[in-house]
């Protein structure tokens, strides 16, 4: 009898846990953020006061193995919405967020995007997973709803979707910069490792093509599936080929374990990544293993607020820490901040919250983003046109790649015993 009771309790606990875990799954979390009193008179920035609400739809991966970026995006969206609402909202309209969980599935993204459109949202922000934007973008564009994507793949921005914009980086452009970094260091051979998700695959394709044009030989190209945990075969192949450097388009939960296994397998060379090394990835890889991972990216991730030397980024990070009590572990906080600032500026220029008016205003938008200027006057619907080159030097610090080559490259060679 006792055993039956214990079993029943165990099952009940399991059910509760399951329900809790699935809480975000496809469910709606409508957040009406606090609004500053007296805001109906218009925002401080002088936007036209129209009152009412602005329904901002968003679809993000909030559950599953790779949901940390989605959850940090969701947090940052709430933070930005509060910040903008306190200053009058979009042309006096209070922003209300409606969020759906994609569970990391493009199919689910299509469904939740349709639900957002059914709910007559005024604009949409999402997702950090490019495959989800690629799947859901067509219907959003066809519905004539202004959208800003948070993913970094080149594929969905290559579509003819005039209502879809971006205030984050384009990996294909960054691949160009990364090839330039290889040339700057004098590398002539490289190995490529890519995941099978949209952003990883498309970026690796572009990188390989650019290497061919630059005369850099790709000694081997290895891939893995999103469910893989063991990379020993890929590591053995790379170690055997011993390229001068390795380019990784890993993302999510894979980059930390891959870097760790690669280093433990004996490869000590410089690693180039499509994304900046996140602190959580450096921790999983081991700080020493994560050293010498370079990337072209507008901004870097900091260990704590104090170590941030960029005043604008520092302010945003401080807001995040004040609100959530912890540092964000990925750079999506910058992506979302920039995205919301661009959208805010566009609504101010448009003097309206209608999608067609916002789209028409976008070419005039000029915002100083966290990673540099964001402009949309070239017809690409891309905001960032410049980047910065970094290399992780350990202890949560990144250094300008050119400076590192000039000042620390010889020390690196001595430390690793490598010629390159």
- Is 15 a binding residue for other proteins by CB under 8 A? The answer is yes
The conformation of residue 368, written as its DSSP 8-state character, comes to E
Write each residue from 109 to 128 as x if it is in contact with other proteins (CB under 8 A), else as -, in one continuous string.
--------------------
326 scored as a contact of other proteins (CB under 8 A): no
Alpha carbon distance 402, 414 (integer Å): 18
Question: Residue 306, class by beta-carbon neighbours within 10 Å (0-12 exposed, 13-18 middle, 19+ buried)?
Answer: exposed
Residue 307 as a binder of other proteins (CB under 8 A): the answer is: no
Taking the complex as a whole, the smallest distance from the CB of residue 234 to other proteins amounts, in Å, to 5
Nearer to other proteins by Cβ, of 227 and 414: the residue is 227
Quote the CA–CA distance of 275 and 332 in Å, as a whole number.
11
φ/ψ (deg, to 5) at 148: -125, 120
**Binding track, positions 40-79, relative to other proteins; x by CB under 8 A:** -----------------------xxxxxx--x--------
| Structure-token pair, residue 98 | 């409606």
Q: How far apart are the first and last CA of the chain?
A: 69
Comparing CA positions, the residue from 339, 330, 211, 336 lying closest to residue 275 is 330
- Give the three-state DSSP class for 247: strand
Q: Binding of other proteins at residue 27 (CB under 8 A)?
A: no
Query: In this complex, which beta carbon is closest to other proteins, that of residue 40 or of residue 223?
Result: 223
* Residue entry with tokens 């579509």: 159
In the stretch 191-230, what mask flags binding to other proteins with x, by CB under 8 A? -------------------------------xxxx-xxxx
User: By C-beta, is 42 or 396 nearer to other proteins?
Assistant: 396
11 binds other proteins (CB under 8 A): yes
Taking the complex as a whole, the smallest distance from the CB of residue 338 to other proteins amounts, in Å, to: 23
Residues 6+ apart with CB under 8 A from 240: none
Angle made by CA atoms 149, 152, 155, in degrees to the nearest 5 = 85
Report if residue 34 touches other proteins, rule: CB under 8 A: no
Closest CA to 342 of 123, 62, 48: 123
Rule CB under 8 A: say whether 3 interacts with other proteins.
Answer: yes
Q: Which of 31, 83, 105, 280 binds other proteins (CB under 8 A)?
A: 280
Q: Which residues bind other proteins (CB under 8 A)?
A: 3-4, 6-8, 10-11, 14-15, 17-18, 20-22, 63-68, 71, 222-225, 227-230, 232-237, 239-240, 252-253, 256-257, 260-261, 263-266, 280-281, 283-284, 286, 288-289, 329
């Amino acid at each position: 009898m006792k055993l039956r009771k214990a079993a029943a309790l165990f099952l009940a606990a399991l059910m509760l846990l399951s329900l809790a875990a699935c809480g975000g799954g496809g469910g709606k979390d409508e957040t009406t953020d606090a609004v500053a009193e007296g805001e109906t008179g218009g925002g401080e920035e002088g936007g036209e006061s129209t009152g009412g609400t602005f329904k901002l739809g968003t679809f993000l991966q909030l559950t599953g193995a790779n949901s940390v970026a989605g959850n940090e995006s969701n947090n940052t969206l709430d933070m930005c919405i509060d910040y903008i609402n306190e200053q009058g909202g979009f042309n006096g309209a209070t922003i209300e967020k409606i969020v759906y969980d994609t569970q990391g599935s493009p199919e689910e993204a299509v469904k939740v995007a349709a639900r957002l459109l059914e709910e007559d949202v005024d604009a949409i922000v999402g997702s950090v997973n490019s495959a989800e934007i690629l799947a859901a973008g067509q219907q959003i564009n066809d519905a004539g709803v202004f959208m800003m994507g948070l993913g970094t793949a080149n594929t969905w921005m290559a579509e003819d979707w005039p209502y879809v914009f971006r205030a984050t980086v384009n990996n294909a452009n960054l691949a160009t910069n990364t090839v330039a970094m290889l040339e700057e260091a004098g590398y002539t051979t490289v190995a490529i490792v890519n995941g099978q998700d949209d952003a990883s695959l498309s970026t690796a394709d572009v990188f390989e093509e650019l290497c061919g044009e630059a005369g850099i030989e790709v000694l081997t190209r290895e891939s893995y599936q999103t469910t893989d945990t063991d990379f020993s075969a890929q590591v053995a192949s790379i170690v055997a080929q011993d390229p001068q450097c390795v380019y990784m388009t890993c993302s999510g939960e894979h980059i930390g374990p891959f870097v760790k296994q690669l280093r433990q397998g004996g490869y000590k060379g410089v690693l180039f990544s499509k994304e900046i090394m996140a602190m959580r990835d450096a921790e999983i890889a081991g700080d020493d293993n994560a050293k010498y991972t370079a990337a072209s990216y507008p901004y870097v991730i900091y260990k704590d607020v104090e170590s941030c030397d960029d005043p604008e980024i520092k302010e945003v990070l401080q807001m995040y820490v004040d609100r959530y009590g912890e540092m964000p572990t990925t750079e999506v906080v910058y992506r979302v901040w920039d995205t919301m600032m661009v959208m805010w500026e566009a609504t101010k220029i448009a003097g309206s919250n209608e999608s067609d008016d916002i789209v028409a205003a976008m070419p005039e938008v000029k915002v100083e983003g966290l990673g540099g200027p964001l402009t949309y006057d070239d017809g690409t619907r891309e905001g960032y046109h410049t980047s910065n080159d970094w290399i992780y030097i350990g202890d949560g610090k990144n250094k300008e790649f050119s400076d590192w080559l000039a000042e620390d490259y010889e020390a690196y060679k001595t430390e690793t015993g490598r010629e390159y």
